[in-house]
Amino acid sequence: MFIRPFKSAVLALMLFCVCSFASAQSQHKLTSHPYTWRNVQIVGGGFVDGIIFHPKEKGLRYARTDIGGAYRWNDLSNHWEPLLDWVSYPDLNLMGVESIALDPSDPDRVYFACGTYTNPHTPNGAILRSRDRGRTFQRTNVPFKFGGNETGRGNGERLAVDPNDGNILYLGTRHDGLWKSADAGATWNRVISFPDVTEPPTAPKPGENPWVAAQTRGAGIVFVVFDPSSGAKAKPSSTIYAGVSLLGRDNLFRSTDAGKTWTPIPHEPTQYRPHRAALASDGNLYIAYGTLPGPWRMPDGAVWKFNTKSGEWADVTPEKPNAEGFGWAAVSVDARNPQVLIASSFDRHVGGKGDHDDIYRSTDGGGTWKPVLSSGATFDASLAPYVSDTPIHWMFDIEIDPFDSDHAMFTTGYGGWETFDLSDVDRGKPTTWSVMSTGIEETVALDLLSPPQGAHLISAIGDYGGFVHWDLDKPSPAHSSQPPLFGNTTSVACAESKPEVVVRVGRASGHHPGLNIGYSVDGGKTWQPPASMPQPDSALGNIAVSSDASTWVWTPERSPVYLTRDRGATWTESKGVPADSRIIADRVNPQKFYGLDLFGGKLFLSTDGAATFLAQPLRLPNGLPKKATETHPRGDDRGGQDRIYATPGREGDLWLAAFDGLYHSADAGKTFTRFPNVQEIHAFGFGKAAPNQTSPALYLVGIVRGTRGIFRSDNSARTWVRINDDQHQWGLILHITGDPKDYGRVYVGTHGRGIVYGDPATR
């Protein structure tokens, strides 16, 4: 998945905000209501940065993602099954999977190296160990950090199990050297004899963003490869290779005494950084190189072959980088024929245009190559229609099935593709590729809308715009939320009394530049851009639509508040409300809009359709919440809601969901009542009222009466029931909303596990 501004900022700042607030226990016991949970089908939507086939059991393979956990393929149902949905908010760091290792001698054993960032505020990582293929895990905390969503995350597997002795594992880290376990991952010790491969931080150039400068730094030890022929059953492999993401110095090391000593391999091509390696059964080690660790553009790269028996190196690059430059991301060898291999280019530009990456296939050990994709390959996107016009990019792992030489897979920034006729290219025939990501859901929901009529769900998604789901169990049709085509959609809203009018805002895709706002007048079936924007650079931010659809109010990012009464033909700046204010519409009165300055203690009310706002004091029981820096000295973002919500069907009825409390007002914000049973909020929303109830159901993610979870209240927050269980937590949840058409149904927007919907199990 791309390192997106919204993703990096949100998750990196939230990772350390994991402590629960102390709470007074109520005399009433908190009850649970069982729910069934399923993913809303989008399919893919994020960076699958590694696929690992088991070498000895057919059909057994795993996939890792940068922020969305890990998956195991189910060969019977033909879909990927998530393995880390049990990860809770305090442990959300584990959702970034840096590496996966399988035990070649025991197909039931699998190991995950988990951790999302290496910044100082992020907790250390952990090794998750399973003896039942990921159904259950044991955890070993390690004294260093992983970077599952940092540069080089598409590089090779840093974690590896000795194929001759399953108790021995080696682990390469980003900044803390090489580590070894001799007890199947339960304990770890640093390999002191491994050379110091520390790379100093990259200093930004004058005026350069430090984040940009960091992309040029290496990613540490990026792969560990055992030579199985150097050992025997129960006798550890004596030869081990480790590749390090270094430039201009030794970056490939070998041990020939089972890890006791390590030396650099002579004559290695140090003008590149190694990305991935594949050891063929004939003793040739193939390595894909690039001058940067990726997944950002790199100016140069190559594929080299190292004959481990003779010590000779050979440049077997399928295509030399052109004037615009490109690198090589991955290489894979056919387990059935050591002369057959495939390699993938990275960010290859042709004729001044980008996204023309290709796979190259050799049947003579890299002596000659044939392009695979550009030789007339066809792509079937029916399992994920939105990718039909999405370029192939971030092809950082390609694999040949060890049990089927015609079956190959490659990963992308939105999932991946597979073919079952790879060898057709040898005969001059085109290969056929289909989406391989069914079951993998890695989108990040930035807003959710379940309208009073029409579609079940309209979503705002990071990187891939958004989707309109008329059927939750089928992928949304292609082009469901365009034109204009957005990269990020940050907000979507409809008119309460005319829900067929839907407006969304975001930023137009770099591949399809255009206006940063779009609307539909048929409930999301078709979309169009307005005639204008408030300012030429207006983008992102929040949108509100009056209940009768006559007024749209847009607050673009870092911008004043603007309104339009003619569907975007003209725009006027709202008066009396600060810039960057998130505005919401009253769900009944089309003239009323609200804005909030929580920490400044002000509520802004408009009664003239957002033309002007008047500030009124925000009076909350127990005073105003403290700012994040006062409650969490290590950070400046508590990760909570701190928003107001207008109640469906009730004029002037507001809910204030602060990170550390829930408040209600029935008089347009003049007075508020606090509900002490709610101690922490991460997401809040409404749904259809329960039978015989007049108030809408409330849904909340956070802590209620000392229990963390997802909750529903049918009686205006007086009592709550927990509707999820410990196996369904999904790390970080950003949004929640009920369905106003279906009591009990709820939609949960996660940070990297897509959108999940739940129904009461007893219905």
Instruction: State the Cα–Cα distance between residues 48 and 584, nearest whole angstrom.
Output: 36
Asked whether residue 743 is domain-assigned, the answer is yes
Active site residues: 66, 463
- 344/483 same-domain check: no
Q: What is the DSSP string of 401-434?
A: -TT-TT-EEEEETTEEEEES-GGGGGGT---EEE
- 653/696 same-domain check: yes
- H helix intervals, 448-537: none
Instruction: State the Cα–Cα distance between residues 723 and 745, nearest whole angstrom.
Output: 11
Q: Which residue has the tokens 């990718």?
A: 387
Instruction: State the Cα–Cα distance between residues 398 and 401, nearest whole angstrom.
Output: 10
Say if strands 35-39 and 189-190 run parallel, antiparallel, or are unpaired.
Answer: unpaired
Residue 405 lies in domain: 66-435
**DSSP bridge pairs for 564:** 552
- 264/334 same-domain check: yes
Q: What is the DSSP string of 268-288?
A: --TTSEEEEEEE-TTSEEEEE
- Token pair recorded at residue 303: 């594929």
Asked whether residue 5 is domain-assigned, the answer is no
Q: Which residue has the tokens 């501004």?
A: 5
Examine the fold and report which residue of 435, 469, 485 is the final residue of a domain before the chain moves on: 435
What local confidence, expressed as pLDDT, does residue 199 receive? 84
- 79/184 same-domain check: yes
The CATH number of the domain holding residue 258 is 2.130.10.10
Q: What is the DSSP string of 618-672?
A: ---TT-PPPPHHHH-TT-S------EEEEPTT-TT-EEEEETTEEEEESSTTSS-
- 596/673 same-domain check: yes
**DSSP bridge pairs for 273:** 290
- 295/242 same-domain check: yes
- 271/252 same-domain check: yes
pLDDT tens-digit series, residues 214-251: 677 789 999 999 999 999 998 999 999 999 999 999 99
This prediction's pTM:
0.93
Q: Pick from 655, 680, 657: which is nearest to 669 by CA? A: 655
pLDDT tens-digit series, residues 295-339: 988 889 999 999 999 999 999 999 988 878 899 999 999 999 999
Which residues contact residue 454 at a Cβ distance below 8 angstroms, ignoring those fewer than 6 apart? 499, 500, 523, 524
- Token pair recorded at residue 688: 């259809």
What local confidence, expressed as pLDDT, does residue 321 receive? 83
Which run of H or of E encompasses 214?
helix 210-214
Examine the fold and report which residue of 387, 409, 435 is the final residue of a domain before the chain moves on: 435
What local confidence, expressed as pLDDT, does residue 209 receive? 66
Which residues contact residue 333 at a Cβ distance below 8 angstroms, ignoring those fewer than 6 apart? 278, 279, 280, 281, 286, 340, 341, 400
- 452/425 same-domain check: no
For residue 507, give the amino acid letter: R
Asked whether residue 37 is domain-assigned, the answer is no
What is the three-class DSSP state of 291? coil
- Token pair recorded at residue 635: 């950070």
Asked whether residue 33 is domain-assigned, the answer is no
Instruction: State the Cα–Cα distance between residues 214 and 118, nearest whole angstrom.
Output: 12
Give the total number of structural domains in the chain. Answer: 2
Residue 580 buriedness (CB in 10 A; 0-12 / 13-18 / 19+): middle
Strands (E), 4-60: 31-32, 35-39, 48-53
DSSP class of residue 387 equals: G
Asked whether residue 529 is domain-assigned, the answer is yes
DSSP class of residue 29 equals: P
Q: Are 139 and 146 in contact (CB under 8 A)?
A: no
Q: Are 646 and 665 in contact (CB under 8 A)?
A: no
- 283/137 same-domain check: yes
Examine the fold and report which residue of 435, 455, 486 is the final residue of a domain before the chain moves on: 435
Asked whether residue 53 is domain-assigned, the answer is no
Q: Are 457 and 403 in contact (CB under 8 A)?
A: no
Instruction: State the Cα–Cα distance between residues 171 and 160, nearest whole angstrom.
Output: 7
Low-confidence ranges of the chain (pLDDT < 50): 1-27, 628-639
- 279/196 same-domain check: yes
Q: Is the peptide bond before 484 cis (omega within 30 degrees of 0)?
A: yes
Say if strands 643-646 and 654-658 run parallel, antiparallel, or are unpaired.
Answer: antiparallel
Asked whether residue 407 is domain-assigned, the answer is yes
For residue 46, give the amino acid letter: G
- Token pair recorded at residue 147: 């970077």
Q: Which residue has the tokens 């009310």?
A: 605
- 381/455 same-domain check: no
What is the three-class DSSP state of 688? coil
Tell me, rounded to whole angstroms, the distance of Cα 643 from its chain centroid.
24
Asked whether residue 211 is domain-assigned, the answer is yes
For residue 453, give the amino acid letter: Q
Instruction: State the Cα–Cα distance between residues 586 and 646, nearest whole angstrom.
Output: 6
- 178/200 same-domain check: yes
